[in-house]
Amino acid sequence: MVNKVYSYITSKRTISWLIIIVSGLFVISLYHRYIYIDDAWFGEQAYWFSQLGYVKTSTIIDFYGWDNHLFVYHKLNIILGSILIKLFGWSPEPFRIFTLTIFLFFLFLIYKSIKKNSEQWSGIELYFVMFFVILNPQTILYAYTFRPEILVMSLGFASFLLLFGNQKISKIVLSGILAGTAVLVHLNGAMFVVAGFIILLLRKEIKFSIIFGFFAAIIICFYFYDLQEPGNFDTFLFQIKNWPDDITTNYANEGWISLVLNAIVKLSSEHQRFFWSHDVWGLSAIAIFALVAKGKTLWRKYKELIVYTLVADLSLNIFGSHIAEVNMLLLLPFLALIAAAFLSELKNNANSPVIKSMTVVIIIFQIAVVIFGFVNIIKQHEQITEVSRATLSGFPDNQERILVPYRFVFNELPSKNLISYKTMEYHQVEHGSKFTKEEFLDLAEKLDIYYMVVSSEMYAKSNSMYPWMHAEFSDIDDTYKYIKLRINKDQNTLERIK
């Protein structure tokens, strides 16, 4: 019975239909896809780079100089975003279509690597790999979000592929360049430089490892292009050490002892990345289960894949920023290959009923989470550019500051003096506790904010960012999407604008 269920769930026909259905749902989910917070965060940085040639955040004010010059940003990702603005104008679609295009190219890389490298990946079924890549809760969100991870993942995977097969200097040079470029997109890309270098060393290909590292280092040097002026590097360090989220990790140390202790503590927490939320549980569980249940077999056939994955993960922990589930995308192709190799092994094994039963449970769980993810995305559909224009048209056109949800930067950033709630959130982090209404309005007065737009999710019971908002707007139907308010500075109260 178990073998029949497993055979049906993992059959090429079933998996292929699941991939087709999920791909169709993904296309449907793109219609008026809601603006993810990172679309606005990185979008604003790209906008100012396109206008000024450097990055700032005019919507996050009075916070460590960000609104004058922000030095801590994902260099190549923002530069590419600014080019998209120059070519296609200021709106979210070009950013997100760019990410989607990179993801489709990544799928092509996966396809070609399996089809054209039968010796390297002998025994791994392509449709299993595609299943874990496409039926993935992170994929359905971030493949259409302006974040750097999809691009970093694709560059890192391309660098990885060039390390296999018949080696020649040109391939190693290109592999190093791609790994270095991944670092330019996001510093977490250093994981691919370290992993590639270690793999070549383990093969005792010392000459190739030096060439790989040299060309990766040359590309990485471009990351510091805007830190050469006197004081810029000090400002960079100041901003990164005072970041509102804990991204400094192993970098904010007071000496070697502190560095080693922090590294050990962070390494001891690495498992949290793999089980951060249900979005990553499925693939994490199947990959780890694969190494436990069929570790010897997989090690014999795919030793370098496993070593590269482990080194890349450890490097991500040690040299990367904070532990976060979004960074699991950087490991996606390697975990998908390991999981697919595991399923391919089980496919030809008539025994192992317990292993197959557990595998089926994990696969069904993964499918359920993906469906839940689509429901969550589709129910938040919003034509934000029209909504933001209509909402903000009710305010005087006098350049007074308006506090808005971050997504309102599309497409109103050039025409209105917008301040995002990230300003209040980060000052709240600095404050050390949640603002009361009085503290919130005091800060708004200090920052010369005259108006506010409050969205329904902000005053919902489930939202704990600003606890005072729920009581303040409890008499308003939560289907009323946006509330426009004037801040009465004399009486320190809020007045609703009809």
Query: What is the pTM for the complete model shown?
Result: 0.93
pLDDT at 258: 66
Domain extent for 480? 384-497
Please state the domain count of the chain.
2
One domain, residues 368 and 221: yes
State whether residue 58 is helix, strand or coil: coil
Asked if residue 26 is part of any domain, the answer here is no
- In a domain, residue 46? The reply is yes
Instruction: Answer yes or no: is 288 within a domain.
Output: yes
Q: How far is CA 334 from CA 214, 452, 467, in A?
A: 25, 46, 42
d(CA 272, CA 251): 20
**Which amino acid is present at 44?**
E
Which H helix or E strand runs over 202? helix 190-202
Domain for residue 1, yes or no? no
Give the pLDDT of residue 75.
95
Query: Which of 350, 378, 406 is where one domain is finished?
Result: 378
| pLDDT < 70 positions in the chain | 117-118, 246-260, 350-351, 477-480
Give the SS3 label for residue 273: helix
- Residue 456 and residue 480 in contact, taking contact as beta carbons nearer than 8 Å: yes
Closest to 138 in 3D by CA, of 29, 25, 280: 280
- 345 and 275 co-located in one domain: yes
Return the pLDDT at 172: 96
Phi-psi region of 231 (alpha: psi -120 to 50; beta: other; left: phi over 0): left
Asked if residue 208 and residue 234 are part of one domain, the reply reads yes
User: What is the model's pLDDT at position 372?
Assistant: 93
Whether 28 is covered by a domain: the verdict is: no
Within a domain: 27: no
Of 241, 155, 186, which is closest to residue 73 (Cα–Cα)? 186
373 with 391, same domain: the answer is no
Query: Could you tell me if 334 and 244 lie in one domain?
Result: yes
Read off the tokens for 446: 């200090």
- Helix, strand and coil content of the chain, in percent to the nearest 5, comes to 65, 5, 30
| Residue 303, helix vs strand vs coil | helix
Domain boundary among 338, 361, 378: 378
The reply to whether 57 and 123 lie within a common domain is: yes
Domain boundary among 347, 378, 409: 378
Question: Does residue 281 share a domain with residue 212?
Answer: yes
Say yes or no: 147 and 81 in one domain.
yes
Decide if 364 is inside a domain.
yes
- pLDDT on residue 106: 97
CA atoms in the 13 A half-sphere facing the CB of 111? 7
